[in-house]
Amino acid sequence: MTIAGSGHGPASRTQLPALLDLEAADALCQSLREALALDDIEFDGAAVERVATPCLQLLLSAATSAAGRGAQFRITAPSEALCTAVAELGLSGLIPLER
């Protein structure tokens, strides 16, 4: 995952990987830390095929942290797998998905 942004402008953008499983959690955590140091955060969720609960917990934590500092956090073009996982865990109102 790559983070783009300067800290002084548009949202940082990150392409989420196809597999957001336990093995991907460390890389996702690092990407989220980098993104939170920048401005607004935008993830492209179109490629996500499988999601594990730890990765959803990380996304929820990042969304909460961003909101706490007045920044936007959103996931654009979420895949059906991502939407389903978010809904099944009752996180629909907490992890912003923009279809």
Q: Are 7 and 38 in contact (CB under 8 A)?
A: yes
Note the pTM of the prediction, 2 decimals: 0.87
Q: Is 90 helix (H, G, I), strand (E, B) or coil?
A: coil
Domains detected in the chain? 12-98 (3.30.750.24)
pLDDT tens-digit map of 49-96: 999 999 999 999 999 999 999 999 999 999 999 999 999 999 999 999
Alpha helices in the chain (DSSP H): 25-36, 53-68, 80-88
